[in-house]
Amino acid sequence: MAALSIQERKRLRQIGHALNPVVMIGDKGLSENVVEETNRALTDHELIKIKVSGEDREARAAVIAEIADTTASEVVQTIGKIALLYKKAAKQNPKLSNLVRHAHLSN
């Protein structure tokens, strides 16, 4: 996946600000079901927030990097325990895509 430009990242962060986490990763880390759910959410919404529990920063960063790698998505931003992931959909669904639904937020 090509790296996002500064303008694209800024636009995605603006849209992501209005989103709530849709995937929560607990103490057990990444399981097959978590990866499946993340892939489904990325396919439907393109831009999602995930929340990773745990107090160790390095462990959280490793989990975020691993899920981004596993799902072939791009980490747009990480703040604390929340990460914003983006993956362009092959066929965008206007009713589900956060990029379409929240396009008015990015000016």
pLDDT tens-digit series, residues 48-72: 999 999 889 999 999 999 999 999 9
The range of the structural domain enclosing residue 91 comes to: 6-102
CA pair distance 46, 27, nearest whole angstrom? 25
Any domain includes 47: yes
Pull the structure tokens for residue 9.
Answer: 């990242």
Query: Number of folded domains in the chain?
Result: 1
User: Which SS3 state, helix, strand or coil, does residue 22 take?
Assistant: strand
Any domain includes 12: yes
| Tokens 């989990």, residue located | 63
Any domain includes 44: yes
Any domain includes 107: no
User: Which SS3 state, helix, strand or coil, does residue 75 take?
Assistant: strand
pTM of the model: 0.91
Any domain includes 1: no
pLDDT tens-digit readout, 24-52: 998 888 899 999 999 999 999 999 999 99
> What is the per-residue pLDDT for 50?
97
Any domain includes 54: yes
pLDDT level of residue 8 (50, 70, 90 thresholds): very high
> What is the per-residue pLDDT for 19?
94
Identify the CATH number of the domain in which residue 60 sits: 3.30.110.60
pLDDT tens-digit readout, 73-101: 999 999 999 999 999 988 888 888 888 88
> What is the per-residue pLDDT for 1?
54
Any domain includes 70: yes
